[in-house]
Amino acid sequence: MTIKTPITIAYGDGIGPEIMQATLKILTAANAQITPEVIEVGEKVYLKGYTSGIPDEAWEVLKRTKVLLKGPITTPQGGGYKSLNVTLRKTLSLFANVRPCVSYAPYVATKCPNIDLVIVRENEEDLYSGIEHRQTDEVYQCLKIITRPGCEQIIRYAFEYAQKFNRKKVTCFTKDNIMKMTDGLFHQVFNEIAKEYPSIEHDHYIVDIGTALIASNPEKFDVIVTLNLYGDIISDVAAQVAGSVGLAGSANIGNQMAMFEAIHGSAPDIAGKNIANPSGLLNAAVQMLVHINQPETATLVENAWLKTLEDGIHTADIYSQAYSKQKVGTQEFADAVVARLGQTPTHFKPADYRPGAYTKIECYGGRPKTQNQKQLIGIDIFIDNPHDVPADELAAKLKSIQSPLELIVITSRGLKIWPNGTIDTPYLRHCCCRFQTAKDTSKLTSISHEELIRLQSEINKAGLDVIKTENLYTFDGILGFTLAQGQ
Ligand code: NAD
């Protein structure tokens, strides 16, 4: 007797219940060996007072089953409600967002008929850490956090995925021409890990030209690995170009848990009308079947779905005079897929998930092999300067403070405004004052934390508002900070 895999089901909001019902109908008919356990998440739960959209008792079910198939969620406007997806990704350590993006021409309209790429997006770091501050009346900041273990984990996952799914190339997208340290680390780790997979090609694009190429020549990409924000944006660009926004599924993968969902939202405008396309959730369910090692069922379902598309049985969103034969509702579409279980497509390449080949990929971020020699050599002190005290005056005030540290440069929004500021009317209300133990970076020596604290205290006593500090370190003698524009 086959042991059934317990999975958690969340119907979600809007069109969620009807597309989930259609999807489960197909999975049941395909004899998927699953035992669904239902949890309630989303709008109703938010309105009961759970600001994260998930009740306490649901976590226990999730942690037991380790797999979630989730319908789309409506996040109520305002009121401090937190995105359920972000909560799930973070709490369950779902570090990889995996979005296959395929065009189904000519049955689904697209300008690029040959797209077959997979975006592997880092899911836990970057600007999505949610660390934001308002520092002055006018200035807000959001911290971009990138860690070496985080880079190693997602990049290794992308290469492992490419290897298991017989993909030929992994492409990395970063903006390391500008963010030399954070994106630079991602690119560097990509180059390091790529060497461990010599049979897989690898290349790198700056994210702006890379995104333009997704929009114009997406067929040149195979697997793309990138940071959280870029991945978020390029996933939607790729899905839009492929014409598959309503058809694509996505997986959020962790080493212990995984969540599968459609990429579209809850579509409240068409909810309850039996016209929504269930294909996005169904494709997510196919990814889930592969993940729980039921590849034969995944193959059966995907092929029946492809055959349904080819046969011109279409929901309203993809209906066309030229290629559709019958316009059907959500449940009738599911019935058409069920009727084709066991058939294979003739126009599209049939799915073929081989038994044993696709068991779940576990990836852990490595640790630095050696401990770097870390030396504290200075501090950046950010000052709120609401009365636009000119940079020369500010510098004179700071230089009058007794300290073993030397004022090296004052910058505003990364641009040098002292000494020898190059623009006539610099922005003065947010000044970063850099103090180092020596101006010449080859002569830097160590300084104590006490000395840095004393300096801040003296600056405050001089009537200046210290809003933030960043310690300046060298690592094995290499600067752990960027130089200001013009420094
Ligand atoms: P949406 O994806 O729900 O809808 C955009 C458009 O696409 C609408 O015209 C809709 O009718 C159509 N559409 C979407 N899915 C469809 C389907 N399966 N079949 C046919 N047509 C479909 O995006 P939105 O309107 O911006 O967001 C609505 C709600 O969904 C918001 O509350 C948003 O926060 C939420 N949302 C949730 C998720 C998620 O749970 N993962 C993702 C995105 C948006």
Q: Say what the pLDDT of residue 359 is.
A: 61
Q: What pLDDT digit, counting tens, does each position of 328-357 carry?
A: 999 999 999 999 999 999 999 999 998 766
**β-pairing, 326-327 with 313-314?**
parallel
Task: Supply the pLDDT for residue 145.
Answer: 95
- Measured distance CA(104)–CA(307) in Å, rounded: 11
Q: How far is CA 234 from CA 7, 211, 242, 422, in A?
A: 30, 6, 12, 37
pTM of the model: 0.92
Angle between helix 279-291 and helix 16-29 axes, rounded to 10 deg: 50
Above 60 in pLDDT, residue 97?
yes
The per-residue pLDDT for range 120-153, each reduced to its tens digit, is 999 999 998 888 999 999 999 999 999 999 999 9
**Residue 274 burial class via C-beta count within 10 angstroms: exposed 0-12, middle 13-18, buried 19 and up:** middle
Alpha carbon of 261 to ligand 1 centroid (Å):
12
* Confidence (pLDDT) at 393: 95
User: Closest Cα to atom 43, ligand 1: which residue?
Assistant: 265
pLDDT of residue 77: 79
Instruction: Please give the backbone phi and psi of residue 257, each rounded to the nearest 5 degrees, phi first.
Output: -130, 165
CATH topology for 111-242 is Isopropylmalate Dehydrogenase (3.40.718)
Mean pLDDT of the chain: 93
pLDDT band at residue 169 using 50, 70 and 90 as cut-offs: very high
The answer to whether residue 2 scores a pLDDT higher than 90 is no
pLDDT score, position 337:
98
74 CA → ligand 1 middle, Å: 9
Asked if the 374-479 domain carries CATH number 1.10.10.10, the reply is: no
Q: How far is the CA of 14 from the centre of ligand 1 (A)?
A: 9
pLDDT tens by residue, 61-76: 999 999 999 999 998 8
Nearest-angstrom CA–CA distance, 30 and 8:
18
Calpha distance 475→484 (Å, rounded): 19
Q: What is the mean pLDDT of residues 370-395?
A: 93
CATH class of 1-92+248-355: alpha beta
| CA dihedral angle for residue 315, residue 318, residue 319, residue 324, rounded to 10 degrees | -90
Q: Is the pLDDT of residue 370 over 70?
A: no
- Per-residue pLDDT for 304 more than 80? yes
For residue 415, the SS3 value is strand
% the chain with pLDDT above 90: 84
Higher local confidence (pLDDT), 245 or 16: 16
pLDDT band at 365 (very low <50, low <70, confident <90, very high): confident
Task: List residues bridging with 121 in a β-sheet.
Answer: 97, 226
Instruction: Please indicate whether residue 210, judged by its CB atom, sits closer than 6 Å to ligand 1.
Output: no
Q: Are the folds of 1-92+248-355 and 111-242 the same?
A: yes
Distance between CA 464 and CA 486 in Å, rounded?
25
Q: Whose CA is nearest to atom 27 of ligand 1?
A: 265
Query: In testing the pocket of ligand 1, which one of 52, 264, 273, 282 has its CB within 8 Å of the most ligand atoms?
Result: 264
CA of 276 to the centre of ligand 1 (A): 10
Residues 399-457 pLDDT 10s:
999 999 999 999 999 999 999 887 878 899 999 999 999 999 999 999 999 999 999 99
Residue nearest to atom 8 of ligand 1 (CA): 267
The predicted-structure confidence for 444-458, as pLDDT tens digits, reads as follows: 999 999 999 999 999
Q: What is the structure's pLDDT at 474?
A: 96
Sorted by where each begins, the domain ranges of the chain are 1-92+248-355, 111-242, 374-479
**Does any ligand 1 atom lie closer than 6 A to the CB of residue 317?**
yes
Bond before 419 cis per omega within 30 degrees:
yes
45-54, 142-151, 209-218, 259-268: the lowest-pLDDT one? 45-54
Task: State how far Cα 394 lies from the chain centre.
Answer: 41
